[in-house]
């Protein structure tokens, strides 16, 4: 899925960004926390924060009530729950980005580019992974709490902004150290299947997630990916993605910070009613009943399940 040279290259991006922040703290930017945990038709949101490092070109970020650009050499924080969409832009240098995503057992570093003609259904340009580096690390996973603290510190003045930069530097150092320490590991699946699994886990909230989209990121045809995935895992891509989304939903429900509809959107379900049907088919109970059984009804989210009924939509869409 990735070579030692790939890993060294991605880690070098983290270390370079760490050094730059030491002398140019203004390179750190962020999305504003607006429209939190809400479905936004033009994008998606994640239940954990993400950090983007622009290595070339620029990225235009859009969300409810905001639009901003990240230039080459800058770092961008997207706090948890912020709906957003990214558009790649070439400038003085070709487009390039590294994004740090929190995972179930650690974190994933994705080095991305923007090949022409690989975008949305209209033939536009989209962002595609070039290197996917999953790292199993409890320390790395827990480091994402620093990004939550960055968001809290940012609202302050003077020392608050300095603290935000310092916390981001700690975050980068931890991820770089953990990625350097990670060994090659043993390959369980072929590179194509491993890549598809890693990318899917990092994009469970994205409604574009589909066999076709994953095949493009893996550099193969949809039929080839579907055959290899079924042969190696015993499951179809769509069924496996659904299981991953339900597993993520279980973790979010147990946290208790999100309403059921918000959990649905964070896990890539366009309609909460469809999410409830899928969750019940996989677990035997509704999301609300599952959460109550594990929290005793004591949580920060309202004890209420969507009562409206809408027609179910397929969970995977063509990118």
pLDDT at res. 121: 37
Would 101 be classed as within a structural domain? Answer: yes
Residues 315/264, Cβ–Cβ less than 8 Å: no
Residues 168 and 257 in one domain: no
Can you spell out the DSSP letters for 201-240? HHTTT-TT-SHHHHHHHHTS-HHHHHHHHHHHHSS-HHHH
pLDDT in tens, the chain (319 residues): 567 788 999 999 999 999 999 999 999 999 999 999 988 888 889 999 999 999 999 999 999 999 999 999 999 999 999 999 999 999 989 999 999 999 888 999 999 999 875 444 334 567 888 888 889 999 999 999 999 999 889 876 667 889 999 999 999 999 999 999 987 555 678 888 988 998 898 889 988 899 998 998 888 999 999 999 999 999 999 999 999 999 999 999 998 889 999 999 999 998 999 999 999 999 999 999 999 998 775 555 555 554 333 333 333 433 3
**Nearest Cα to Cα of residue 77 among 108, 36, 117, 32:** 32
Residues 120 and 239 in one domain: no
Structure tokens at 223: 């039929």
Residues 177 and 196 in one domain: no
Tell me the CA distances in angstroms from 198 to 43, 80, 82, 248, one per residue in order.
20, 20, 22, 14
Residues 109 and 215 in one domain: no
pLDDT at res. 117: 58
Adjacent-strand bridge partners of 29 = 76
Residues 45 and 68 in one domain: yes
Alpha carbon distance 201, 214 (integer Å)? 11
State the total domains in the chain: 2
* CATH number assigned to the domain comprising residue 288: 1.10.10.60
Would 314 be classed as within a structural domain? Answer: no
Alpha carbon distance 308, 316 (integer Å)? 22
Q: Which residues of 265-301 are buried (b: 16+ CB within 10 A; e: fewer)?
A: bbbbbbbbbbbbebbeeeeeebbbebbbeebeeebeb
Residues 167 and 195 in one domain: no
Structure tokens at 280: 């019940």
Structure tokens at 271: 């309609």
Would 308 be classed as within a structural domain? Answer: no
Residues 157 and 49 in one domain: yes
Domain that holds residue 224: 191-295
pTM for this model (two decimals): 0.85
Residues 122 and 216 in one domain: no
Would 186 be classed as within a structural domain? Answer: no
Nearest 5°: the CA angle 120, 201, 3 is: 95
């Amino acid at each position: 899925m990735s070579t030692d040279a790939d890993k060294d290259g991605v880690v070098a991006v983290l270390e370079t960004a760490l050094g730059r922040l030491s002398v140019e703290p203004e390179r750190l930017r962020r999305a504003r926390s607006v429209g939190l945990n809400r479905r936004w038709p033009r994008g998606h949101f994640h239940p954990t924060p993400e950090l983007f490092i622009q290595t070339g070109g620029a990225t235009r970020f859009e969300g409810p009530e905001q639009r901003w650009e990240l230039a080459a050499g800058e770092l961008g924080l997207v706090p948890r729950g912020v709906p957003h969409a990214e558009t790649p832009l070439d400038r003085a240098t070709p487009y390039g980005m590294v994004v740090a995503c929190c995972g179930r057992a650690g974190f994933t570093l994705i080095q991305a580019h923007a090949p022409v003609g690989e975008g949305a259904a209209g033939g536009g340009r989209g962002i595609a992974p070039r290197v996917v580096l999953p790292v199993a690390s409890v320390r790395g996973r827990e480091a994402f709490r620093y990004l939550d603290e960055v968001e809290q510190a940012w609202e302050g003045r003077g020392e608050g902004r300095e603290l935000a930069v310092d916390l981001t530097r700690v975050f980068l150092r931890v991820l770089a150290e953990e990625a350097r320490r990670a060994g090659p590991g043993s390959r369980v699946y072929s590179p194509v299947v491993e890549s598809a699994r890693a990318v899917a886990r990092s994009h469970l909230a994205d409604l574009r997630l589909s066999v076709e989209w994953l095949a493009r990121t893996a550099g193969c045809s949809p039929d080839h990916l579907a055959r290899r995935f079924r042969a190696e895992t015993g499951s179809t891509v769509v069924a496996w993605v659904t299981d991953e989304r339900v597993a993520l939903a279980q973790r979010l429900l147990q946290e208790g910070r999100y309403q059921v509809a918000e959990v649905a959107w964070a896990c890539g379900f366009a309609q909460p009613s469809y999410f409830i049907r899928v969750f019940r088919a996989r677990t035997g109970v509704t999301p609300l009943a599952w959460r109550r059984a594990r929290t005793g009804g004591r949580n920060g989210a309202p004890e209420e399940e969507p009562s409206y009924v809408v027609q179910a939509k397929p969970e995977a869409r063509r990118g």
